[in-house]
Amino acid sequence: MGLQEQPIYTTRAHVFQIDPNTKKNWVPASKQAVTVSYFYDSSRNSYRIISVDGSKVIINSTITPNMTFTKTSQKFGQWADSRANTVFGLGFASEQQLSKFAEKFQEVKEAAKLARDKSQETVETLSNHSQESGRETPSTNQASSINGTDDEKISSVGPEAALLKSENERLKSAIELSNTNTKKWETELQTLRENNARLVDALQESSANVETWKKQLSVCKEESDTLREKIKDLEAQCNEADQEKQKNLQLTARVQELEAELQDKEQELENLRKQAEIIPQLMAECESITNKLQAAETKNQELEGRVEGLQGDIDDSRQKQGNMKVELKKFMDVLDGKIDELHEFRQGLSKLGLDN
C-alpha cells in the first residue's frame, strides 16, 4: 500500500476462500475474525479490499465494475475475483455488518465504474487532440515559410512552435500512458478470458459431477427403499415376537398370581379349620355372655326406675327451692321496708334531740 492509498471503511469478519480443487467447499483463511478494509488509491483512482492476518495478506482484491457482492445468508456474503482466480467469503457477527459491507461494496463498484468511464473519455480526448495537432502543424509551418525572410520566419514561428512542441510532448506522454493502459487492459482481458475459460471448464466438470451424483443418488434411493422395506419386515417380525413375549410374560404373571391366591385360600381354609375347633367353646362363652347381658339389662331397668324416682325428687326439690326463693324475696322486700322506716325513725329522733 502506497502513501496515497488510504482506508475509507473498516470492519471485522471471518475470511474464507473457495477450495481451488473442488470449487465448492469453503476453506478458512483466518482462524478468527480479522480486520477487512476498503482502500482508495488516489494516484491510480482505484479501490481495493485488503485484509491482513498477522503478517500474511489474505485478501488483496481490486474492485472492478464487473464484480458483484452476493449475500448467501443472513451473516455471510461472497464475491468472485477473476484476477486472483478465487472467490472470497466473509462471515460477519451480525446482519447489520453484512448489509453495511454490501452497501459499501456497491458504492465502491459505482465509483470504480465512473473512474473507468472517465479514464476512457480522457484517452479518447487526448487521442483526438493528438490527431488535430498533427493536421494543424504542417499548415502552420507552410504559412510561416511563405511570408518574409528566414529571420522573420524564426521570429514569427518561435512562440507558436514552442507551444506546439510542448503540446506535442504532453500528447505523446498521454498517448504513451494510453498505450501502457491499453496493454495493461489487454493483459487483464486476456487474464479474464483465461479465468473465464477455467471457470467454464470447472462449471462443465461440476455439471458432469452433478449428473454422476444424480445417478448415484438415484441408486442410493433405490437401495434405501429396499432397505426400508426390509427394515419394515424385520420390524413387523420383531413386533410379532414382542407380542408373543408379552403374552408369555402376562401368562407367567397370571400363573404366579393364581399360585399366590391358591396359597392364600389354603391358609384361609387352615384358619377356618382351627376356628371350627374352638366353636363349641365360643358358643358356651356366648351363652354366658348372653346371660350376663340379660342380667345387666335387668339391673339397667331397675336403675332407670331409680333414676326416674330421683328425677322426680329433684324436680320437687327445684319446685320447693323456687318457692323458697319467692318467699325469701318477699321477706327481703319487707325487711328493706322496715330498714327504711327504722332509718327515718332515727333521723326523726336526731332532729328531736337537736331541737331540745
Summarize the confidence of residues 268-283 as an average pLDDT. Answer: 86
> What single-letter DSSP state applies at residue 23?
S
The residue among 149 and 187 whose pLDDT is bigger is 187
What pLDDT was estimated at residue 216? 79
Q: Please name the helix (run of DSSP H) or strand (run of DSSP E) that holds residue 87, with its range, or none.
A: strand 86-91
pLDDT at 42: 82
Residue 224 within any structural domain of the chain = no
> Is residue 204 a part of any domain in this protein?
no
Is the predicted pLDDT of residue 11 greater than 90, yes or no? yes
Could you report the per-residue pLDDT of 200-215, keeping only the tens digit for each? 776 777 677 777 778 8
For residue 340 the three cell numbers come to 327504711
Least confident of 45-49, 80-84, 129-133, 242-246: 129-133
pLDDT cut 70: percent of the chain above it? 81
Q: What is the DSSP letter of 33?
A: -
- What does pLDDT average to over the chain? 81
Q: Where is mean pLDDT largest: 152-156, 213-217, 288-292, 348-352?
A: 288-292
- Neighbouring CB atoms inside 10 A of 93's CB total 13
pLDDT digits (tens, 9 = 90+) for 336-355: 998 998 888 888 888 888 87
pTM reported for the whole predicted model = 0.37
Whether 269 shows a pLDDT value over 60: the answer reads: yes
Residue 264 or residue 141, greater confidence: 264
Domain presence at residue 95? yes
* pLDDT attached to residue 136: 47
> How do residues 66-123 score in pLDDT, each as one tens digit?
899 999 999 999 999 988 889 999 999 999 999 999 999 999 999 888 888 877 776 6
- The phi, psi pair for 53, rounded to 5°, reads -110, 100
Q: What does the pLDDT average to over 298-304?
A: 90
Q: What is the pLDDT of residue 145?
A: 37
Range of the domain at 42: 7-119
Q: Classify residue 189: in a domain, yes or no.
A: no
Each residue's pLDDT tens digit, 227-240 = 888 888 888 888 88
| C-alpha span between 141 and 137 (Å, rounded) | 6
* Model confidence at 128: pLDDT above 90: no
Q: Does residue 58 lie in a domain region?
A: yes
pLDDT over 60 at 140, yes or no: no
- pLDDT band of residue 129 (cuts 50, 70, 90) is low
Is 30 part of a structural domain of the chain?
Answer: yes
When pLDDT is cut at 50, 70 and 90, the band that residue 281 belongs to is: confident
Helices (H) and strands (E) in the chain, counts: 3, 8
In this structure, are residues 26 and 89 in contact, taking their beta carbons and an 8 Å threshold?
A: yes
Residue with C-alpha cell 471448464?
Answer: 201
- 24-64 pLDDT, tens digit per residue, is 889 999 889 999 999 988 888 889 999 998 888 999 999 99
Contact present, 145 and 157 (Cβ < 8 Å)? no
Give the whole-number percent of the chain exceeding pLDDT 90.
29
**How is residue 83 annotated by DSSP?**
T
CATH number (domain holding residue 81)? 2.30.29.30
Structure confidence at residue 254 (pLDDT)? 92
Does 285 reside within a domain?
Answer: no
C-alpha cell at 85: 482466480
In a domain, 349, yes or no: no
Query: What total number of domains does the chain contain?
Result: 1
**Selected residue with higher pLDDT from 218 and 307:** 307
Taking residues 145-165, report their average pLDDT.
Answer: 50
Beta carbons within 8 Å of 69's beta carbon, 6+ residues apart: 77, 78, 79, 101, 102, 105, 106, 109
> When comparing pLDDT for 242 and 147, which is higher?
242
Residue 148: pLDDT over 60: no
Grade residue 187 by pLDDT with cuts at 50, 70 and 90: confident
